Structure 1
């Protein structure tokens, strides 16, 4: 089995894609106006509109209601990522070093989903991520 992607359901695909393109520097690949993917070397963030849910199971996912998942991005310099955030970014925690050796920045995307940008800063953390 291979883990392929995480999908966020939103009521405004263009807005959410625009946010993730800005903060990651990755251009989205659009399948249509209701579905886009931001592909990296290690995973894909898929963003789907509400109408896509009906194709699987109507009503099974609702936009802007997540309170249990954090989308995480490994970045080269979390402090530079912080400085490059949009002015209206909803910053939950400015960059700080965590006990497990990552320097992390926690924000909310426009739908309120938590997003963690992190850089390993200790030797042990860098080894875990091959850096």
Structure 2
């Protein structure tokens, strides 16, 4: 397959409560989700779509292929205009889910790390160094 013809278009999280998880993502992003069924919804951004599917949907792929609230490797990342302002705006939402308040990382991003209601890591970041800004221009 030619990699030039391939694009990452979606990340899907499997959960036992689509409504609760999508309401969280709507709140933290300020974007409205598209709810197709009780088992499937999407948050469409200009770069990629965050899909939320119920545990019932993975039965269509085969038993045990994905387990809700069991992610220990991936971080869901959103580029935001001002991570410090996002942190202020979300103070009442983050509570115990805060992992790291805004911190400038060695690769030039200022990052806010927290967990969603299922425990998935979420990173809101703003490129702040000239190199990071240039790297993320598309």
Deviates more, 1:85-94 or 1:104-113: 85-94
Query: TM-score if structure 1 supplies the norm length?
Result: 0.96
Higher helix share: 2
The answer to whether structure 1 residue 69 and structure 2 residue 74 are counterparts is: yes
Q: 4+ residue stretches of structure 1 with deviation over 4 A?
A: none
Q: Any gaps of 5 or more consecutive residues in structure 1? A: none
Q: For 1:49-68, list aligned pairs within 5 A.
A: 49-68=54-73
Matched residue, 2:3: none
Q: For 1:91-106, list aligned pairs within 5 A.
A: 91-106=98-113
Q: For 1:38-53, list aligned pairs within 5 A.
A: 38-53=43-58
Query: TM-score if structure 2 supplies the norm length?
Result: 0.91
In 2: Cα distance, 1:61 partner to 1:80 partner: 35
Q: For 1:11-30, list aligned pairs within 5 A.
A: 11-30=16-35
Q: Any gaps of 5 or more consecutive residues in structure 2? A: 1-5
In 2: Cα distance, 1:88 partner to 1:78 partner: 15
Q: For 1:73-88, list aligned pairs within 5 A.
A: 73-85=78-90, 87-88=92-93
Deviates more, 1:42-51 or 1:78-87: 78-87
